[in-house]
Structures are given as C-alpha cells and as structure tokens.
Amino acid sequence: MKTAALLYVRNDNYKEDERVIVCLSSMLETFDEVILLDWNSPEDKGPLLWDIQNKLPKTGKLKHMVIPPDAAKMLTNHDPNAQACTQVISTNLMLRRCDADWIVATTIDIIAPNKDKFYEFLSKANKDTFYTISRRDFEIEELEKHGFENWKTYRDHLDETSSERRFPAMVTPNDRYSLINCCGDFQLAHRDVWNTIKGFEEKMIYACFQDTNIQKKAVLNGFGLKAVFDLPLYHMSHKGMSNDGSSPSKQYYNNAWEWVEWFEETQNTDAWGFSDIEIEYELI
C-alpha cells in the first residue's frame, strides 16, 4: 500500500518560511510520495522549494513540479493568482501524475499525522469511501517558541491537548455534502475514487468550497462520504492574505452555493488534470 500527499504553493504569496519546512518534513515522514507543485514562480524569485530544500531531509520521494506564470495563464485562461483557481487546477495536475494507492489533497500549512497512526487508519479504511479528515488549529507562534526543529515533540504534545473541529460547514440548508470545515482538512480517497470522479471540478475556479464539490461528486458516483475527527492533523494558523497583503476578494467566494445546489455530474473532460500537458519534475 503506497500513500501520497499533494501540496501546492503560490510562490508569489510565500517566502522562505519555517512552517513550509515543518509541513514538508512531516509529510515526508508520513507519506511514501509527496508532490509539491510550485505555482506561478516568477523568474526573479524562482521556485520556493529551491530556497528551502537544503533544510529538508533528503529522501528521494519529494516530487517537485514548477508552473511558471506563462504556463499558469495558459492552463487556466484566468488570473493565475486566484486562490481557488490554483487549488483546483494544481491539485488535478498532481492527481493525474500520482501513482499511490491512497492520495491526500491538502495545503502547505499542515503537520501530518504520525505515520503509524495514519497507516492504522488506512488499514480499516473503505476503498469506496471519500474521507474528510478534520484539521485542528494551533498558533504558529507556539511552535516557534517550542523550536521549529522540535516539531515532532510538539506534535506529540498537540495529540494530547487539541480539541476537535466542528462538522459540517453547510453551504445551503439542503447541503448534505459539506464535510469540509477549512482549507487544510485532508481530502482522502483511494486512487480509483479520484479517477472515477475525475478530480476537482476545473470550471469551479472562482468559487470556494471546491472541497464540497468534490465530495458531492463522490456521492453522485456511488461512493460513501465520511468525516473523520480522531486522526490527529494540525494546521499552523496564520492570517490569510492575498498577494498584495490585503484580504481576499469576495469574488472568489461568490457562487459556492450554486455549485452545491445544481451540480449533477462532472464537466471535466477526459483531459481533466490536463493529461496532455507534459510537466517536468525533480526528485529531492
């Protein structure tokens, strides 16, 4: 049984950051493969991973892909800086290029569960169920005080003290699908499920709750849907900012309810995840 975690980073919104190093280190400890897609990497800055890779363990299982601004614009035909846009498109790009049996889609601000605990959960997981594993928040300043290099010890401490997240986060009164509570929750499914539902909906790029949409796609294809509270998963809290430092624009949250209400089947073509696009990668 092989596992993979899919992460993307918008390089215009991140700098060399200890939380990214902690996240990737935890993912490399827990998963057999970690795919990081560096989106919109400007030439004058270069990919984020190049700045921090010397601080990461050399495992040979970190697959690094780079999507520069011209490619981002070509892939989306929309603003390549839009958060919803990058999350949907980049996750599908990674999904189609992942060989693992169980695949997690999440964000770059997460401390992954302990590997033994994660595999214990998978040993009982149903291959025909789409899971949402709830994250638990902690203030990144607390980890900083503890010492970023001691994140494993801090995770053990969090296992004993953190409270559970709340479910669900309903979009509409009739919404039975919104198990997602926040970005950073694990969206976990077997590879066969991801392939059957054709990943995240690529036309849903300016409405948030893409994760709600993916869950409804799973249900419409006959798969089970389950929220998981008891597997420790931690999110390093920080203030959400757009690329210019301001609050995210409301246009990215404008029509999530419409997708939940009327969505009946995927509009992704057989080329979902842009399977005809060749993407080079490096292993670190």
**pLDDT block averages, 10 residues each, the chain of length 284:** 92 71 94 92 80 87 90 74 73 94 92 94 97 86 88 89 63 71 81 96 69 85 90 77 41 58 86 89 86
Distant-in-sequence, close-in-space partners of 273: CB < 8 Å, separation ≥ 6: 92, 93, 95, 96, 97, 199
pLDDT of residue 42: 75
pLDDT of residue 45: 76
pLDDT of residue 108: 87
pLDDT of residue 70: 83
For the chain, what is the radius of gyration of the CA atoms? 18
pLDDT of residue 80: 54
Dig out the tokens for 99 from the structure.
């060989």
- DSSP code of 12? G
End-to-end CA distance of the chain: 22
Q: For residues 83 and 234, what is the distance between their CA atoms, to the nearest angstrom?
A: 21
Q: For residues 116 and 5, what is the distance between their CA atoms, to the nearest angstrom?
A: 16
Q: For residues 8 and 66, what is the distance between their CA atoms, to the nearest angstrom?
A: 10
pLDDT of residue 4: 98
Q: Edge-to-edge strand order for the sheet containing 281-283?
A: 224-228, 129-133, 186-190, 102-105, 3-10, 33-39, 62-67, 281-283
pLDDT of residue 245: 41
Distant-in-sequence, close-in-space partners of 129: CB < 8 Å, separation ≥ 6: 189, 223, 224, 225, 226
pLDDT of residue 82: 62
**At which residue do the structure tokens 């999110």 appear?**
235
pLDDT of residue 250: 45
Distant-in-sequence, close-in-space partners of 103: CB < 8 Å, separation ≥ 6: 3, 4, 5, 6, 95, 188, 189, 190, 191, 194
Residue type, position 102, single letter: W
